[in-house]
């Protein structure tokens, strides 16, 4: 489906938005508009990562925005994001994508209303930078949700309940933020290859770049926080394991000498003088109690029973 979002004769300008085109439709459009064949092939690839290319007077970009309809458990690029291909020529702004995307519709509505109220069309380069800003802005919500999830995880990290669920949640957050950081890095790479068309448009370019950089840094900080929580969770689990082993070791230290004594007098040899002794049984009980008290006093003095 092709639709003209903005158009004017003086100066010549058209924003043509193409939604879910077939191969034949797109190839026909490429012939009429003089688009490069390889760029058209890239625009048809649903898994293509962000890129920047220039063919003569044509600038070709691929951007990926966060898909608001993606599942909360989605972690891959294809599951979390949607691609939009952009062809930029003097007087032409062509966008191609598989399905309608809210940020793109909002951008089109805003510029259409501005063109009516102000009576002029935006420069193509400004429109492109606004689109990049809108794409970057789609990652705000998932990053804020990841920040909230990490805050909840901090309250659960010292709890022994649901440790497996917590680790799974942290790993999901880490993979989602890693994917977002990767897309923001590719978008920054595209922005670094773009040049403002004039000094008048330089502030728009700088604003888009700073916006992408700020969200990239935010994603990097969230990844560091996630790694810290994972390490803390592993350390906490290791500490709990060590506590269990410590208790078992203390019990073993108590019972080891007692087991030794019982083993000696449980061999049932015929000629064992203690077996015939009148006070043999109470005596061995006294020895075992004394050994137990001595071990307890020694552990207490060394602070191992705290």
CA–CA separation, 8 and 92 (whole Å):
11
pLDDT digits (tens, 9 = 90+) for 151-189: 888 877 766 666 778 888 888 999 999 999 999 999 999
Using an 8 Å Cβ cutoff, are 63 and 129 in contact?
no
Residues 6+ positions from 289 with CB-CB distance below 8 Å: none
Pick the closest to residue 143 from 80, 210, 64, 49 (CA basis).
80
Note every long-range contact of 189-192, with CB atoms under 8 Å and residues 24 or more positions apart, other chains counting: 189/50, 189/52, 190/50, 190/51, 190/52, 190/61, 190/63, 190/132, 191/132
Nearest to 97 by CA among 87, 106, 89, 109: 87
Secondary structure class of 196 (helix, strand, coil): coil
Going by C-beta distance under 8 Å and a sequence separation of 6 or more, which residues neighbour residue 277?
283
Q: Residue 272: helix, strand or coil by DSSP?
A: coil
Residue 139 has what pLDDT? 94
CA angle 61, 63, 64 (to 5 degrees): 160
Cis ω for the linkage preceding 11 (within 30 of 0):
yes
Question: How many other CB atoms are found less than 10 A from the CB of residue 190?
Answer: 19
pLDDT at 162: 66
Residue among 189, 46, 193, 44 nearest 35 (CA): 44
Please tell me the predicted confidence (pLDDT) of residue 11.
Answer: 67
Q: How far apart are the first and last CA of the chain?
A: 74
Predicted pLDDT of residue 8 = 64
Q: What confidence score (pLDDT) does residue 242 get?
A: 76
- Give the residue from 181, 265, 167 showing the smallest Cα distance to 215: 181
- Contacts for 27 with CB less than 8 Å, ≥ 6 apart: 40
The predicted pLDDT at position 155 comes to 79
- Residue 40: per-residue pLDDT: 78
- What does DSSP say about strands 13-19 and 92-97: parallel, antiparallel, or unpaired? parallel
CA-closest candidate to residue 15, choices 127, 166, 97: 127
Query: What is the rounded (10 degree) CA torsion for 133, 138, 141, 143?
Result: -80
Whole-structure pTM value:
0.76
Q: What pLDDT does 215 receive?
A: 93
Residues of the chain where predicted confidence (pLDDT) is lower than 70: 1-3, 5-11, 114-122, 158-162, 196-201, 239, 269-271, 275, 306
Q: Can you tell me the distance from the alpha carbon of 299 to that of 201, in angstroms, rounded to the nearest whole number?
A: 76
**pLDDT score for 9:** 54
In whole angstroms, give the CA distance from residue 228 to residue 236.
12
């Amino acid at each position: 489906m092709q639709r003209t979002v903005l158009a004017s004769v003086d100066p010549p300008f058209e924003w043509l938005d193409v939604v879910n085109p077939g191969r034949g439709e797109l190839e026909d459009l490429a012939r009429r508009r003089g688009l490069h064949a390889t760029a058209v092939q890239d625009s048809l690839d649903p898994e293509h990562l962000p890129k920047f290319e220039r063919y003569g007077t044509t600038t070709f970009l691929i951007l990926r925005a966060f898909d608001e309809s993606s599942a909360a458990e989605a972690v891959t690029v294809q599951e979390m994001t949607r691609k939009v291909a952009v062809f930029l020529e003097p007087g032409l702004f062509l966008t191609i994508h598989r399905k309608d995307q809210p940020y793109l519709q909002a951008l089109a509505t805003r510029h259409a209303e501005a063109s009516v109220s102000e009576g002029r069309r935006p420069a193509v380069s400004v429109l492109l930078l606004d689109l990049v800003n809108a794409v970057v802005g789609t990652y705000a919500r998932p990053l804020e949700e990841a920040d909230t999830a990490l805050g909840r995880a901090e309250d659960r990290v010292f709890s022994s309940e649901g440790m497996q669920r917590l680790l799974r949640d942290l790993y999901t957050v880490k993979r989602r933020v890693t994917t977002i950081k990767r897309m923001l890095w590719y978008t920054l790479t595209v922005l670094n290859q773009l040049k403002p068309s004039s000094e008048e448009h330089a502030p728009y370019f700088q604003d888009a770049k700073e916006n992408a950089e700020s969200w990239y840094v935010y994603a990097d900080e969230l990844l560091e926080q996630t790694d810290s929580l994972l390490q803390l969770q592993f350390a906490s689990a290791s500490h709990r394991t060590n506590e269990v082993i410590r208790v078992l070791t203390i019990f073993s230290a108590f019972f080891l000498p007692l087991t030794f004594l019982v083993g000696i007098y449980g061999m049932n040899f015929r000629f064992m003088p203690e077996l015939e002794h009148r006070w043999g049984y109470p005596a061995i009980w006294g020895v075992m109690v004394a050994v137990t008290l001595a071990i307890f006093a020694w552990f207490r003095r060394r602070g191992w029973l705290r």
